[in-house]
């Protein structure tokens, strides 16, 4: 599958400068792929170019996330996150079934381990009801054990519609279908956008490998969303700040201790969900992630560093406001990043019998957050129209789950603003 897509790229090198596409989608993660797919499904005559700076699709957030099909349990009712997560989940599962993408709607438990978490558990449950999450139910600690025998808790929520999926596979399949739908569609891998030049009736996407022309642009740049917006002349006050998440994996002899997915009750004072257990589609079981400031937006090693990325983040007031608001959490997260013992201690809150030799270091991912000037990370999805372009400026989790719904939402804007119909 990947090889076939690569052949398509090599062919496009010959014709890149001779065609003006109707739309160019910039960004080959799952949101860009879903946007490409949705636009083509609804407008078969459009010629669309998909432009990605890496040599393969889904090489950053999409390919490094937890692989979870989220239910929509946590998000403010009526928000874009809540609506698109629920709708997108249904669409994603249907897509995976139709096209043979590896997935399993296995369900998860959200568990409380301390009395002070019970009111928060109740609040999450009510949010789930308002978001119309099908099948959720409050359960006791004994009922949690029936589902996850090695998990110790004082109660929880059973969420049967949560699942796991191969997001890389889903991304590739969406692009494959869209490319086959229209012979003038093309994909350009290894094309990093360095500038946008606007002309009368079209824009030119400048890359070191050659320029591409399109009447309209849609930016789905993830970790580079703010920089791409500025290249397009958008005056953006906020900046993208990256947070790395490190995972451990269960060794083979310990995999029986987790059947599917186990989540803690989120702390409302902490801007992330907390470490959890996830059975992946390949059978591995991941534990994590933590959340630490990333000194490189696309750096997955603990010591990866980019002067540009660090400078951009640390000269932005919103970053420091976030640090000061979450000083205690931030210190603890960094300690866990470099201490297997402390990471294990956090995991033992839910599965006390875990031991040091049960876990081994796994992979890492980086989350892109369009951080507000006041340091708030809880912004909704943010998608804006500017000139002849649409910018997906903020699409953190659950964007992968919601990708097809986001793609549809962007297609709605495109049809209205670009007058496609």
> What are φ and ψ of residue 348, in 5° steps?
-70, -15
pLDDT above 60: residue 2: no
Give 14's pLDDT tier (boundaries 50, 70, 90).
very low
Q: State residue 15's pLDDT score.
A: 44
**CA separation for the pair 26, 229 (Å, rounded):** 11
Question: Per-residue pLDDT averaged across 113-130, rounded?
Answer: 97
Answer whether 312's CB lies under 8 Å from 217's CB.
Answer: no
pLDDT for position 268:
76
> Residue 321 has what pLDDT?
94
Do 31 and 8 form a contact (C-beta atoms < 8 A)? no
Q: Can you tell me the distance from the alpha carbon of 52 to that of 197, in angstroms, rounded to the nearest whole number?
A: 18
Give the pLDDT mean for 28-50. 97
pLDDT, tens digit, for every residue of 218-227?
999 999 999 9
Q: Determine the pLDDT at residue 11.
A: 41
pLDDT at residue 421, rounded to an integer: 65
pLDDT exceeds cutoff 50 at 9: no
The string of pLDDT tens digits covering residues 359-387 is 999 999 999 999 999 998 878 999 999 99
Can you tell me the distance from the alpha carbon of 200 to that of 206, in angstroms, rounded to the nearest whole number?
16
Produce one character per residue of 347-384: b if its CB has 16 or more CB atoms within 10 Å, e if not.
bebbbeebeeebbeebbbbbbbbbbbeebebebbbebe
Which pLDDT score, from 0 to 100, does residue 237 have? 93
Looking at residue 378, what is its pLDDT? 74
Contact between 226 and 241 under an 8 Å Cβ cutoff? The reply is: no
Residue range 58-68: mean pLDDT, rounded: 95
Average pLDDT (1-28) is 64
For the chain, the residue count is 421
Token pair listed for 225 = 């969303």
Q: Is the preceding peptide bond at 120 cis, omega within 30 degrees of 0? A: no
Question: Which contiguous run of DSSP H or E holds residue 367?
Answer: strand 359-371
Mean pLDDT of the chain: 93
**Which residues partner with 243 through β-bridges?**
293, 367
Confidence of residue 419 (pLDDT cuts 50, 70, 90): confident
The pair phi, psi for residue 412, each rounded to 5°, is -60, -45
Question: Using 50, 70 and 90 to split pLDDT, how confident is the model at 328?
Answer: confident
Range with the poorest average pLDDT among 124-133, 194-203, 231-240, 324-333 = 324-333
- For 250-282, give one letter per residue: b (16+ CB within 10 A) or e: beeebeebbbbbbbbbbeeebbbbbbbbbbbbe
- Counting Cβ atoms within 10 Å, is residue 53 exposed (0-12), middle (13-18) or buried (19+)? buried
pLDDT for residue 329? 76
Name the token pair of 299: 């750096």
Residue 124: per-residue pLDDT: 96
Name which of 236-240, 264-268, 395-399 the model is least confident about: 264-268
pLDDT average, residue stretch 70-99: 97
Decide: residue 126, CB within 10 A, 0-12 exposed, 13-18 middle, 19+ buried: exposed
Q: What is the mean pLDDT of residues 159-172?
A: 98
Q: At what angle do helices 327-337 and 317-325 cross, to 10 degrees?
A: 90
Phi-psi region of 151 (alpha: psi -120 to 50; beta: other; left: phi over 0): beta
* 252-290: pLDDT as tens digits: 999 999 999 999 999 877 666 789 999 999 999 999 998
3 has pLDDT over 90: no
Please, which residues have CB within 8 angstroms of residue 419's CB and are 6 or more apart in sequence? none
130 φ/ψ sector (left φ>0, alpha ψ -120 to 50, else beta) = alpha
Inter-residue contact 394 to 73 (CB < 8 Å): no
- Statement: the pTM of the whole predicted model exceeds 0.85: yes
Distance, CA of 36 to CA of 34 (rounded, Å) = 5
Domains and CATH numbers, the chain: 2-61+167-238+380-417 (3.50.50.60), 108-160 (no CATH), 240-260+268-371 (3.30.9)
- Where does the pLDDT of residue 18 fall: very low under 50, low under 70, confident under 90, or very high at 90 and above? low
Given a contact cutoff of 8 angstroms between Cβ atoms, the answer to whether 301 and 294 are in contact is no
What's the sign of the alpha-carbon dihedral 148, 149, 150, 155? Answer: positive
Distance of CA 208 to the CA centre of its chain: 28
**Is 156 in a helix, a strand, or coil?**
strand
Looking at residue 271, its pLDDT comes to 61
- Which pLDDT does position 270 carry in this prediction? 67
> Do 178 and 189 meet the contact criterion of CB atoms below 8 Å apart?
no
Q: Checking phi first, is residue 31 left (phi over 0); if not, alpha (psi -120 to 50) or beta? A: alpha
């Amino acid at each position: 599958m990947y090889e076939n897509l690569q052949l398509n790229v090599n062919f496009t090198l010959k014709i890149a400068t001779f065609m003006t596409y109707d739309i160019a989608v910039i960004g080959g993660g799952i949101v860009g792929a879903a946007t490409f797919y949705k636009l083509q499904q609804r407008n078969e005559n459009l010629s669309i170019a998909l432009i990605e700076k890496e040599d393969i699709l889904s090489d950053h957030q999409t390919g490094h996330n937890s692989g979870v099909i989220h239910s929509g349990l946590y998000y403010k009712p009526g928000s874009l996150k809540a609506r698109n997560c629920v709708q997108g989940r249904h669409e994603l599962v249907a897509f995976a079934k139709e096209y043979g993408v590896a997935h399993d709607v296995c369900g998860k438990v959200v568990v409380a381990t301390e009395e002070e978490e019970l009111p928060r558990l109740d609040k999450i449950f009510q949010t789930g009801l308002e978001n119309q999450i099908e099948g959720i139910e409050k359960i006791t600690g004994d009922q949690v054990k029936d589902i996850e025998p090695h998990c110790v808790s004082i109660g929880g929520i059973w969420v049967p519609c949560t699942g796991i999926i191969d997001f890389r596979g889903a991304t590739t399949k969406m692009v494959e279908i869209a490319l086959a739908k229209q012979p003038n569609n093309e994909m350009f891998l290894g094309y990093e956008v360095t500038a946008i030049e606007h002309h009368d009736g079209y824009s030119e996407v400048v890359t070191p490998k050659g320029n591409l022309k399109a009447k309209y642009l849609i930016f789905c740049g993830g970790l580079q969303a703010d920089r791409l917006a500025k290249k397009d002349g958008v005056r953006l006050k906020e900046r993208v700040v990256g947070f790395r998440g490190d995972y451990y994996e269960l060794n083979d002899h310990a995999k029986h201790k987790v059947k599917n997915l186990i989540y803690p009750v989120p702390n409302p004072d902490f801007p992330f969900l907390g470490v959890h257990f996830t059975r992946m589609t390949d059978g591995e079981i991941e534990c994590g992630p933590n959340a630490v400031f990333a000194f490189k937006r696309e750096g997955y090693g603990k010591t990866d560093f980019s002067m540009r990325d660090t400078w951009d983040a640390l000269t932005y007031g919103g970053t420091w406001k976030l640090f000061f608001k979450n000083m205690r959490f931030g210190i603890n997260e960094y300690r866990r990043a470099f201490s297997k013992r402390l990471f294990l201690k956090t995991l033992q809150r839910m599965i006390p019998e875990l031991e040091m030799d049960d876990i081994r270091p796994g992979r890492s991912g980086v989350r892109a957050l369009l951080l507000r000037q006041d340091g708030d990370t809880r912004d909704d999805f943010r998608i804006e129209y500017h000139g002849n372009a649409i910018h997906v400026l903020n699409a953190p989790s659950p964007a992968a789950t919601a990708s097809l719904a986001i793609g549809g939402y962007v297609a709605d804007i495109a049809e209205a603003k670009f007058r496609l119909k």
